[in-house]
């Protein structure tokens, strides 16, 4: 069952509550919903985690933890999903959100020649920050909604199939 598979990879709730970077949340981490694995908490965690993955800020895991506490969804899943944006996936994702933002603002997208220097970064961010942030917000919201409803739908589908299988097993036993 997917629930048991996911539970194997979830950290112990006491370890999360005592983590030094999450102490600022205080007693808010004692909410049992933050560690339950059900359809509501898992789908909400996917929505939060995917949205925060598209937010171009440092310390995304802390932001995901704060949103998970605020919305009372599964904390470990929310925090883990921000790693969708990692050093390998970040350049294409952020270029895509920039292109989306430029399209939404109806401005021509600049062709960027990346250089790993602080001067280049400050110069380019000054020129592209509006479409970049708009695109990040819009794509983040859309992906969050899609992931939220996909997890809810897949979870529901799994439950319906489980019920149907049990019903068929009962019917087969009664036929004997």
pLDDT in tens, 112-129: 776 667 777 777 777 788
Q: Is 108 a member of any domain? A: no
Q: Is 56 a member of any domain? A: yes
Q: Is 55 a member of any domain? A: yes
Q: Is 113 a member of any domain? A: no
**Residue whose structure tokens are 């917000």:** 137
Looking at the structure of the chain, the number of domains it has is 1
Give the chain's residues under pLDDT 50: 1
Per-residue burial over 46-80, b if 16 or more Cβ lie within 10 Å, else e, is bbbbbbbbbbbeeebbbbbbbbbbeebbbbbbbbb
Question: What does R_g of the chain's alpha carbons equal in angstroms?
Answer: 21
Question: How far apart are alpha carbons 110 and 19 in whole angstroms?
Answer: 42
Q: What is the pTM of this model?
A: 0.78
Q: Is 111 a member of any domain? A: no
Secondary structure element (H or E) that encloses residue 77, with its range: helix 75-81
Q: Is 8 a member of any domain? A: yes
- For residue 1, what pLDDT is reported? 46
Question: How far apart are alpha carbons 107 and 101 in whole angstroms?
Answer: 9
Q: Where in the sequence is the domain holding 156, given as residue range(s)?
A: 2-101+118-175
Question: How far from each other are the two terminal CA atoms of the chain, in whole angstroms?
Answer: 28
Q: Is 136 a member of any domain? A: yes
């Amino acid at each position: 069952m997917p629930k048991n598979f996911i539970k194997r990879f979830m950290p112990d709730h006491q370890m999360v509550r005592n983590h030094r970077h999450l102490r600022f949340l205080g007693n808010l981490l004692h909410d049992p919903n933050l560690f339950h694995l059900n359809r509501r908490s898992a789908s909400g965690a996917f929505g939060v985690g995917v949205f925060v993955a598209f937010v171009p800020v440092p310390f995304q895991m802390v932001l995901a933890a704060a949103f998970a506490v605020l919305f009372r969804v599964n904390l470990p899943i929310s925090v883990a999903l921000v790693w969708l944006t990692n050093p390998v996936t970040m350049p294409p994702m952020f270029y895509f959100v920039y292109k989306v933002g430029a399209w939404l603002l109806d401005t021509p997208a600049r062709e960027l020649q990346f250089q790993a220097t602080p001067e280049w970064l400050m110069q380019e961010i000054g020129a592209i920050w509006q479409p970049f942030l708009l695109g990040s917000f819009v794509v983040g919201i859309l992906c969050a909604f899609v992931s939220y409803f996909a997890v809810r739908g897949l979870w529901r589908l799994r439950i319906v199939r489980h019920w149907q299988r049990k019903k068929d097993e009962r019917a087969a036993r009664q036929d004997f």
